[in-house]
């Protein structure tokens, strides 16, 4: 039985240990923050300028130096292969805390099915955060023959759907939704950044799918309209009368695919660093990213640019990505049948 004195000594010991830990942390954190003084951080964007990923990255890059005092953040666009080249470049960068990047959430699908050309493992990235939970939409041009999504489902002819590239989120989800909803979508790669919207305006394609945030401009201009939404259901103004994918009757296999797509689309506008980052510098980047995403001025700018924000940070994002990758066997089998990279 412990005496009063022994309990007192134990309490003192615990207090001294916690004080030591706190003191050590207080010394280490400023040193890691000081590392960034006079340094340049490169923010890789795995697509061309002008699209949603580029816009989010440039907004975040504007505010990060405020929380990495003395630093400069530059955006470097590394497009190609449906965001794979940019993601490969980030993964292979020196893990010194001076390179971060953003790429398409659809690379989760590409890794699941083992797409050729991937030189990264999403589980091993040093995850910093995500900026949004995406509501994604199927969009039809103002001059398209489709008035509703049911019209698209009833089409007897293949419907051309532009995508940024094979392996990208829009390409993969076009094929997944075609299978799950039994609609004749035909993905056409080669439209990165805002080029898919230009194809809608030129009449090259009748429809596309993508982030509502990125497409809100063309919708507001009445050059296109949303006929279906999926992913997040947090209630975006303007989509009140647009049906959600969950309202469509599908087969059990289709329902499994829809559930997976909705879950993965909750991880929008990711930001990561290379694997093997020093823990202190990673913590500094995570904290700076969090401070930037919650900065009132950034939030004000995001509203001005019609960018939705629903951020999450660090290990929470790591968990979301891991859950997206670790699909049940039936999903893996079906995905490998649906997503064909030879096309």
Tell me the per-residue pLDDT of 17-56, one tens digit each, with 9 for 90 and over.
443 333 333 333 689 999 999 999 999 999 989 888 999 9
Fold of 135-264: D-Maltodextrin-Binding Protein; domain 2 (3.40.190)
CB atoms within 10 A of CB 151: 13
pLDDT in tens, 256-314: 899 999 988 888 899 999 999 999 999 999 999 999 999 999 999 999 988 889 999 99
Burial 180-203 (b: 16+ CB within 10 A, else e): bbebebebbbebbbbbbbebbeee
Q: Do the domains spanning 33-133+267-338 and 135-264 agree at the CATH topology level?
A: yes
Q: What is the pTM of this model?
A: 0.76
Q: Six-digit token pair at 177? A: 């939704």
**pLDDT (mean) for 67-90:** 95
Question: Which ranges of 156-250 would DSSP assign to H, the alpha helix?
Answer: 169-181, 195-202, 212-220
Q: What CATH number is given for 33-133+267-338 in this structure? A: 3.40.190.150
User: Could you identify the residue written with the tokens 């532009």?
Assistant: 162
User: What is the residue extent of each domain of the chain?
Assistant: 33-133+267-338, 135-264
């Amino acid at each position: 039985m412990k005496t009063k004195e022994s309990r007192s000594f134990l309490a003192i010991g615990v207090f001294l240990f916690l004080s030591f830990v706190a003191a050590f942390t207080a010394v280490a954190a400023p040193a890691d923050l000081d590392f960034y003084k006079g340094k340049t951080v490169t923010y890789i964007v795995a697509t061309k300028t002008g699209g949603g990923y580029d816009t989010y990255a440039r907004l975040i890059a504007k505010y990060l130096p405020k929380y990495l005092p003395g630093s400069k953040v530059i955006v470097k666009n590394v497009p190609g292969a449906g965001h794979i080249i940019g993601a490969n470049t980030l993964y292979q960068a020196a893990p010194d805390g001076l390179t971060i990047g953003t790429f398409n959430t659809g690379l989760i699908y590409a890794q699941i099915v083992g797409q050729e050309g991937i030189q990264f493992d999403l589980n091993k990235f040093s995850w910093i955060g995500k900026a949004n939970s995406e509501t994604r939409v199927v969009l039809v041009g103002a001059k398209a023959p489709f008035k509703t999504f049911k019209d698209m489902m009833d089409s007897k002819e293949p419907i051309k759907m532009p995508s940024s590239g094979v392996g990208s989120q829009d390409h993969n989800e076009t094929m997944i939704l075609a299978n799950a909803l039994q609609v004749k979508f035909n993905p056409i790669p080669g439209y990165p950044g805002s080029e898919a919207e230009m194809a809608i305006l030129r009449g090259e394609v009748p429809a596309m799918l993508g982030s509502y945030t990125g497409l809100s401009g063309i919708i507001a201009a009445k050059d296109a309209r949303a006929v279906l939404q999926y992913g997040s259901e947090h209630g975006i103004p303007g989509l009140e009368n647009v049906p959600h994918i969950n309202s469509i009757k599908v087969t059990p296999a289709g329902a499994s695919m829809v559930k997976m797509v909705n879950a993965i689309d909750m991880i929008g506008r990711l930001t990561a660093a290379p694997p093997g980052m020093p823990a202190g510098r990673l913590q500094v980047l995570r904290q700076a990213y969090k401070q930037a995403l919650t900065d009132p001025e950034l939030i004000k700018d995001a509203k001005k640019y019609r960018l939705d924000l629903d951020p999450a940070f660090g290990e929470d994002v790591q968990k979301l990505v891991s859950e997206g990758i670790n699909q049940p066997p039936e999903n893996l089998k079906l995905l490998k049948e649906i997503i064909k990279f030879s096309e």
